[in-house]
Structures are given as C-alpha cells and as structure tokens.
Structure 1
Amino acid sequence: MTKFSAILLLLISLSLNAKVAYVALGDYRVEYELRGDSKATLLLEAGGSAGLEDWNPIYDRLTSEYRTLRYSRIGNGGSTAVRKNYSSEEYADEALALLDALNIDGPVIYIAHSYGAYIARTFAARYPEKVAALMLIEPASEHDVDIMRQIDLAKAEQEIAEVKRDDMKNGMSNQYLDFWAKRPLPDHPEIADIPVTVIASIKRYENPPLLFYTDKARVMWGELHRDWALAFPQGKIVLTDKSYHFPQRDEPEMVLEEIKALVQRTTKSK
C-alpha cells in the first residue's frame, strides 16, 4: 500500500467515525448514529452480537430519504463492553431509554434483523404507543427450536445444547437462553394493529450446518413467518430465495423497496 493510499484510508475512516456519537444511558455508553430528515423516524435494531455496522449496506441510502437512527446495544459494537446475560425485555427498555435521551418522541418505524427482531417484537408489545410500524428481517423466533425438534428430536437436543454452550462461552447468552428457553411461547399477540412486514429467507443450503438449515426446516421457517405476518390485518410477508440470513447485504435494493413501501403504508394508515 502506498503512503498516499494509507493516508486516504485514514481520512475515510476518520470521516465515517465522525458521524458516530455516544450517549450515556446510566452507567453505560451507547454508540449511535442519527442522520437524515423526514417526518417518519426509522429505528434500526442490529442482529445478534452485531453493532450498528449491521446496517452499513443500506444506511446511507436510507438517510438520504428518512431520519434514521442506528445504534449498538450495550455489549456490542462501540458501546460499553459487558459480559452479562441480557433479556429482550432489558434490551427493549434500553432502546426506549435511547429514544428518550435523543428526544425522539413520536412513534418510530422499527426495523430489526435476526435477534434484533425479537427485541423489536418485545418493544412493540411493551410500548405500543412508541411503534408506528414494524419490519422484521430474518427474525429470530422462539419457534426455531420447535422446527428442529420436529425434524429430529435427539439430534436437535444435541445441537441446541452445543449452541447454548458456545454462546455462554462468549459471555453473552441472551440470544439463546433469552428466547429458545422461554415457555410458554411469547408470540406477542398484544402488538397493536400496525403495518407489519416480515422478510424471511427460504434459500436452501448446500451443506446445512444445523438441522435448522436443512431443506425441510427452510420450508417450515417460511411457513412460520408467513403465518405470523399474515395474522396481522396490515401484515405482509416477503419470502426470498436469493439471500441467506443477511438480505440487507445480499439484496439491498429489495430491502430498500420494502422499507419505502412500509413507510408509505404507515403514512396512509394514520
């Protein structure tokens, strides 16, 4: 790498980092980025152990049209590092505290990926007045383990135990103990009658790493989210076979079009 190239990369990095800010929520520092201008505010919730970079493929495009907030949950990204078992309820309260700290009063269009979608569902159920619409992208579900058990109970129990051990080894067991172990199943029927879009992948894997990624499970996964989304009077399901777990990365144009359509539906429903 030439000296000029190194300097250019450093300047680009500094420029990107300059857009990221931090806010204190209790004893923790939370990394966030808020850009754009519109009546509607989009709140982006990252998946699993991801930070706000989860939304890099579409964030700039979104901020050119909408006021868009993305952030890294405590323990992720550039936010305060912790080793603690969090629940979706705690994370939902953290999201509310962030909105309050940034003086975002109106209901948001909540867009969430993977485990973040579980948090978004919890948030929408606990604080319905704060959510104008909901988009769940490849949403984690408490029914994941049920799909695996229906295919092969013995193998499913072995794989579930292995995943939990790996998760706890990393110090953040919320992703699995939070919703895989919850019974009765919190399907969140108390979510208000709002526009809802679910984007789920049914693309097949050549070498499935778990039962959950087998062809049979892919079909059941699509049916699960279709039924959940269409139970809402304003629900919409988008099943894709062109991307795996990251449609916002593999099919950014599709995701952007669905967000635009959701914003339009939200505006009309008011």
Structure 2
Amino acid sequence: MKLGLLFLISIIAFSASAEISLVKVKGFDVEYEIKGSGKHVVFLEAGGSAGLSDWDPIFENLAKNAKVIRYSRIGNGGSEKIKKNYSSEEYAEEAYLLLRALKIDQPVVYVAHSYGAYIARIFSSTYPDKVSALMLIEPASEHDVDIMRKIDLALAEKEIAQVKLDDLANGMSNQYLDFWSKRPLPDYPLIPDIPVTVIASTKKFEKPSLLFFSDQARDMWGQWHSDWVNTFPQGKIVLTNKSYHYPQNDEPEMVVKEITELLSRVKH
C-alpha cells in the first residue's frame, strides 16, 4: 500500500513539472515553460534572484488567451547555477538568445517584475523589433535611492550603506552592481513607441524598515512611475494600494486583467 502511494505521489509530482524543459543558452541549461496559443506571445521576466515559479499565480490564466513563456535566468530557479556579477545588459542578451533558441520570431509582449524591469528596458531598446508591448510590475529603478535621499540624505546614505553590506554578506547577488550604479537606463524614445503599462504599489507599511518604505517614499514611488510611463505616447499607469511588491501574488486577477488590456492595445 505504501509503495503504491509513493508511486502515485511521484507520478503527480512528475506531471506537475512535466511541462518545464531545458534549453542551452551560452552553453548553460536554462529552464523554461511554454503554454497556450494565440495571436500574442507573452514573455515573463522574474525579479531579483527569482525563478519562473514567481509567475505561478497568473501563468495558467494568461495561457488561456496567448502563448506564454516563463523562464529562470542562468543562476536562478532550476537553471544552471553560476556565481557571477551579471549586468542587466548580459541578462537582456541571454533573454534574446533564449527566444531565438525557442524559435520565437515574432515580437513579444514583455512582462517584467522588479529587477526584471532593468532587463526589459535594456532588451526593448537593444532589440526594438522584438518587443510589441511592455509591462513593468513594481519595477526597480535606478532612481530608487534618490527617493530616499530626498527625504533624509544622512539617514539614506546610512541605510544604503547597510543594504550594500547585507548584500555582500549574502554573497553579492547577481544584480548588485545594477542596483547601485547610477547610469541611466533606456527610456522613451530609446524604447520604441509601443504600448507600455506600469503597475506600482503605493500601499503603506505599518512599520517601515527603511526610508524607502515610509509613507512619503510610497507616494513618491507612485508619482515617479506615473511621470515615467506618461512620457510614452501609449503609456498607462496603474497604482494599487492593495498589494506590496508582488501584485501578481496578491492581486493576480488585476494583473491578468491589465495584461489582457495591454494585449488589446498591440497593433500587430
């Protein structure tokens, strides 16, 4: 009986992961999953050190109306492990190579979360003919630290220094250099005139751990992203006070609705 139960459990576990495959990118194994069909291809870029599982709450629903691709960057999730200080430029190149390896020729609707926004912005300016629309969910920005400095410069510098030390103590994450470099990332018109949606959270924290999470900073965060996306002729801002940094987890229906609306604005 126990043997049979274990066999059944193993079959269920295999079935749950059977759709996830591996493909070589620059000689490394990259895990990915493709599901659904339709006129559009939606390409999902996770944040930070996250993998493709970060899209679990919305992946199945998105695949009802489009071909949806999710993957884990090299070093993340179930992709091949590597210790390296990556730049968003390298990640963008590898996203391009992944799509080429998967024989995705048409432009994609690029949906990115958090740090993934760095990659999506660079990808969109480097390969403009490969992107038909862009959605950034709670996007990290090179101006994040400016918000803190405008509120309290001395305290901001102290907190930023501690965050750097904490990051180093954890082995220096792949995106460390990108987070704290001050070079500007591509904006409009370096990113082409395509439909762009930004979802940003202005939800207040009861006990902010950093200046960045203070009430004033939350309002500035929402305003900065509103100003940024409104420079695009086809830009749209969605501000939410119902979720923090992971709207796709806390408000999956809203995120799917906004992606579906974005698809309706794609011209080709």
Q: Smaller-chain TM-score range?
A: over 0.9
2:216 alignment partner AA: K
Relative to the length of structure 2, the TM-score reads: 0.95
Shift of 1:187: 4.3
Between the aligned partners of 1:228 and 1:174, the Cα distance in structure 2 is 26
Q: Name structure 2 gaps, 5 residues minimum.
A: none
CA deviation profile, 1:166-197 (whole Å, cap 9, x unmatched): 223333434332132223x2243300000000
**Counterparts of 2:5 and 2:149, CA distance in 1:** 52
Mapped to 2, the partners of 1:31 and 1:55 lie a distance apart of: 14
For residue 14 of structure 1, what is the aligned residue in structure 2?
Answer: 14
Q: Percent identity?
A: 61
Other structure's SS at 1:61 match: helix
Distance in 2 between the 1:11 and 1:217 partners?
Answer: 48
Q: Distance in 1 between matches of 2:153 and 2:35?
A: 47
Residue 194 to residue 10, structure 1, CA distance change in 2 (3 Å): same
Give the 3-state SS of the residue equivalent to 1:47 in structure 2. coil
Task: State the aligned residue count.
Answer: 266
Give the structure 2 partner of residue 112 of structure 1.
112
Kept in 1, the 8 Å contact 2:85–2:174? The answer is: yes
Deviation at 1:4, TM superposition (A): 7.8
| SS in structure 1 at match of 2:109 | strand
Query: In structure 2, what is the equivalent of residue 226 of structure 1?
Result: 226
Q: 2:66 is matched with which residue?
A: 66
Query: In the aligned structure 2, how far is the partner of 1:74 from the partner of 1:90?
Result: 11
Over the residues paired in the alignment, what is the CA RMSD in angstroms?
Answer: 1.6
Distance apart, 1:3 and its partner CA:
8.1
Quick one: distance in 2 between partners of 1:153 and 1:15?
53
Does structure 1 retain, via aligned residues, the 8 Å contact 2:49–2:174?
Answer: no
**1: CA distance, partners of 2:179 / 2:127:** 19
TM-score, normalization: structure 1? 0.94
Structure-2 residue corresponding to 1:37: 37
Aligned to 1:104, the other structure's residue is in SS state coil
Report if the CA contact (8 A) 2:74-2:80 is conserved: yes
Contact 1:164 1:173 in 2 (8 A): no
Contact 1:86 1:172 in 2 (8 A): no
Instruction: Give CA deviations for 1:178-237 in whole Å, capped at 9, x if unaligned.
Output: 132223x22433000000000000000001111100000000000000001111000000
Equivalent position of 2:199 in the other structure = 199
